Amino acid sequence: MGKLQPLEGNLAVAEAMRQINPDLVAAYPITPSTEIVQTFAGFVADGKVDTNFVAVESEHSAMSACTAAAAAGGRVMNVTSANGLALMWEILYITASLRQPVILTVVNRALSGNINIHCDHSDTMGARDAGWLQLYAENVQESYDNLIQAVAIGERMDVRLPVMSCLDGFLVSHSYELLEVEEDEAVREWVGPYKPNKPLLDIENPYTMGPLDLYDFYMEHKRSQWEAYPGAKQAIIEEGKRFGDVFGREYGLMETLGLEDADIAVVAMSSAAGTAKDVVEKLRDEGIKAGLLKLRVFRPFPAEEIVAALSGCKAVCVMDRCASFGAASAPLYNEVAAAMYSMGQQVPMTNVIYGLGGRMLTPDDIESVYRELVTVADSGKIEQVCKWLGVRE
């Protein structure tokens, strides 16, 4: 049984990192995740962890050091946000391609320009094709729980992939919430000791990692990597259940509210989903059959599960905290719509882009989305697929 504690999202993540006690953290602090690195560096200085903390000169170096340390055979964690993640870009693909289970906390923040330090998902959505698994947290408790699970998921021998554990900048990272913090020993036992897979420091069994790989073999290696993700989806489900068995909070690929009989539904991720829950309850009190699909896992994308959950709806709106410039609609919508269409579900679907650069998302904003869905469900018609919500027009 854990202990109830009031903590900010950043402090809860730092606490989970202390309990996990990784072999190496190489990080370059950046707002709004600075506090995690600062707090964890304090744990290192105070001897509360055995971690080798490497103060690097850039995020590119941070992820390079992390990938190399993981290849050498250590449990490795890292922390970043926005432009820091962008500077890691080149190495992100290499970490995943080399199948190194580096665990990266991303405190979601808008990418420049103009420069902005507040929340949106343009950073991690941009990294969606890099091969990392991505978990998104609604609140402080989930930020803590997801990071612990990320270690177990990524390190499983049938997964061996890096994981991003994402939480909303400021909205969650700097919000104090009462959460259940588990005992150190319980967390360490649940995560288990690190089991290296073909560590490079095993000089008795040498091999070559990351060599030049041209048109004659590269595509077979990418095909092999592709095969890892269905297994990762199953692993996330299993570890979420195992976490629930021990700590009482079970996790899956998504959380749903009212979808059993919903006529209209919203798909959202992270803190926005928490606000949407209140709106669903309000609308249900009015007799409107509203539902919510809170997606926890964006990579691997749970296409079949999303289609099964939404197939009974008459109208769906997907909410993206990210714009894909030049695209017809935003990333989460694109993937949900492609999944629905390819599996024969012709439900009218709209897309809203909201909350860029920390723009406030109010319950009234979400209610307006549901009210419009009522109209779409009645008429079966969509006037404009992709709209901006909460912008001065």
Partner 1 sequence: MRVYPPDAKWHEMADAGIIPQPGNAMEYDVSGWRNTHPVRDDDTCIQCLFCWVYCPDNAIMVKDEKVVAFDTMHCKGCGICAQVCPADAITMEPGENMDEQ
Interface residue with partner 1 among 46, 185, 204, 216 (CB under 8 A) is 216
Is the CB of 159 or the CB of 313 nearer to partner 1?
Answer: 159
Residues 81-100: x where in contact with partner 1 by CB under 8 A, - otherwise, as a string: ----------------xxx-
Interface residue with partner 1 among 113, 193, 211, 344 (CB under 8 A) is 211
What's the DSSP call for residue 115?
Answer: -
- Cβ at position 220, least distance to partner 1 in Å: 4
Is the CB of 32 or the CB of 101 nearer to partner 1?
Answer: 101
Is the CB of 42 or the CB of 210 nearer to partner 1?
Answer: 210
210 interacts with partner 1 by CB under 8 A: yes
The H or E element spanning position 148 is helix 140-155
- Cβ at position 300, least distance to partner 1 in Å: 17
203 interacts with partner 1 by CB under 8 A: no
Strand, coil or helix: 265: strand
230 interacts with partner 1 by CB under 8 A: no
Interface residue with partner 1 among 223, 261, 325, 344 (CB under 8 A) is 223
Is the CB of 198 or the CB of 241 nearer to partner 1?
Answer: 198
- Cβ at position 222, least distance to partner 1 in Å: 8
229 interacts with partner 1 by CB under 8 A: no
- Cβ at position 292, least distance to partner 1 in Å: 38
213 interacts with partner 1 by CB under 8 A: yes
- Cβ at position 101, least distance to partner 1 in Å: 12
- CA 143 to chain centroid, in Å, comes to 9
What number of chain residues touch partner 1 (CB under 8 A)? Answer: 23
Output the 3-class SS for 322-357: CCCCCCCCCHHHHHHHHHHHHCCCCCCEEEEECCHH
Place of tokens 């492609």: 338
209 interacts with partner 1 by CB under 8 A: yes
Phi/psi of residue 365, each to 5°?
A: -60, -45
Strand, coil or helix: 276: helix
Residues 359 and 27: their CA atoms lie apart, in Å, by: 28
Residues 351 and 123: their CA atoms lie apart, in Å, by: 19
225 interacts with partner 1 by CB under 8 A: yes
- Cβ at position 225, least distance to partner 1 in Å: 8
Strand, coil or helix: 181: strand
Structural contact between residues 373 and 380, judged by C-beta atoms closer than 8 angstroms: no
Residues 57 and 47: their CA atoms lie apart, in Å, by: 23
Is the CB of 193 or the CB of 206 nearer to partner 1?
Answer: 206
- CA 110 to chain centroid, in Å, comes to 15
Q: Alpha carbon of 11 to those of 250, 253, 295: distances in Å?
A: 22, 25, 24
Residue partners of 146: CB distance under 8 A and separation at least 6 = 135, 136, 137, 165, 167, 251, 296
Is the CB of 185 or the CB of 227 nearer to partner 1?
Answer: 227
208 interacts with partner 1 by CB under 8 A: yes
Note the residues at the interface with partner 1 (CB under 8 A): 97-99, 160, 198, 206-211, 213, 216-221, 223-225, 227-228
